[in-house]
Structure 1
Amino acid sequence: MKILYIHGLNGSLIPEKREVLERYGTVRAPSIDYENNPDSITWLHNQYKKANIDIVMGSSMGGFAGYHLSKLLQLPALVFNPALAERSVVQNVPHTPETNKGHIHMVLGSKDPVVNPKATLQFLGELLMQEQDYRISIRHDLEHRIPLDVFEEEVVKFMGSL
């Protein structure tokens, strides 16, 4: 299995989380400069559309990119605190299909001070007529950063749902 992990703004995939993902397959985790590349989703699509990726994952800004990329690539996705409703840097969203024909598992921290979970739910509420299958996990123990134990628990749950 090939996993594409998309980091958040000024972030990266830490080794401990990479180890969790490598239990399931090969991990690709490109470095993305969101501040200087407003077309990061299109760039990711062009880089990985022929790479036989099986799953898209991401957190925060990477969750935003992963959400849209999963629809472009028609792949299931696991996104943590995706910056869907608002972002601190400008990003262009290419035209994407309404659904990825699979599911998007979304993990939201109810205490997140960076990505407002209520705004994310309102964003999704506007899309209710689309036939995208969402699985939403609202974690009351979670802020913006994803602790390793929560990351592992949610990855296990997601992989078990495939």
Structure 2
Amino acid sequence: MNILYLHGLDGSLSEEKRTALSKYGVVFGPQIDYRSSENIFDSLVAQFQDKKIDVVIGNSAGGLAGYYISLAYNTPCLIFNPALPYSSIIQNIPQNLPKREKYLQVVLGKKDDVIKANDNLVFLEKNLDADFEYSTHLLNNVGHQIPIANFETELASFFDVVGRE
């Protein structure tokens, strides 16, 4: 299985997370400069097009990018505290992407003071078809940074569902 992991703003894929992800497949974790890249969406889609990405996982700004890139690839998606309400972070997101058909799991820290969980819930309600079923996991004592134990638990949950599809 090929996994595309997209880190958050000014972040990177930590070795801890890479190790956790590697249990499920081959991990592609590009270093992304969200601040100065003009067309992140198209460049990421093109960069990994030949890799046959099976799932997209992202955190914060990477969750925002992953949400849309998973539509382009028509793959399941796991996003942690995504910056969905702040889509201006990523310029040139195509408007003609297909509807979401594959599994979506959204993990939100209720103590996140960077991206409010409720703002993401409002975004999802407005932007997903009413009949599309997705999973939202609200973590009571988690802020914007996802502890590795929670990351591993959410990965297991996600890949359990994806493995049944």
Match of 2:72 in 1: 72
| Matched residue, 2:116 | 116
Residue in structure 1 matched with residue 107 of structure 2 by the alignment: 107
Q: Any idea what SS the aligned residue of 2:136 has? A: strand
Alignment TM-score, normalising by the size of structure 2: 0.92
Q: Cα deviations across residues 29-83 of structure 1 (Å, max 9, x unaligned)?
A: 0011110113211211111122111110000000000000000100001100000
Distance, in Å, in 2 between the alignment partners of 1:139 and 1:65 is 22
Question: Contact (CA 8 Å) 1:60, 1:81: kept in 2 or not?
Answer: yes
Percent of aligned positions with the same letter in both sequences?
40
Shift of 1:91: 2.8
Residue ranges of structure 2 left out of the alignment (5+ in a row): none
Q: Supply the RMSD in Å over aligned alpha carbons.
A: 1.5
Q: Tell me which amino acid in the other structure corresponds to 1:30.
A: P
The 5 Å alignment of 1:58-69 reads 58-69=58-69
- 1:125 positional shift: 1.4
| Paired position in structure 2 for 1:85 | 85
Q: Secondary structure at the match of 2:104?
A: strand
* Structure number having the greater helix percentage: 2
Unmatched 5+ stretches in structure 1: none
1:80-116 C-alpha deviation (Å, 9 max, x unpaired) = 00000026845332222121x2111100111101111
In the other structure, the counterpart of 2:127 is 127
TM-score normalised over the length of structure 1: 0.93
Aligned to 2:12: 12
Q: Distance in 2 between matches of 1:104 and 1:110?
A: 19
Which consecutive segments of 4 or more residues in structure 1 shift more than 6 A?
A: none
Distance 1:32 1:130, change over 3 A: farther
SS in 1 for 2:50: coil
- Per the alignment, residue 99 of structure 2 pairs with 98
Counting matched residue pairs gives 161
1:37 corresponding residue in structure 2: 37
Find the counterpart in structure 2 of residue 150 from structure 1.
150
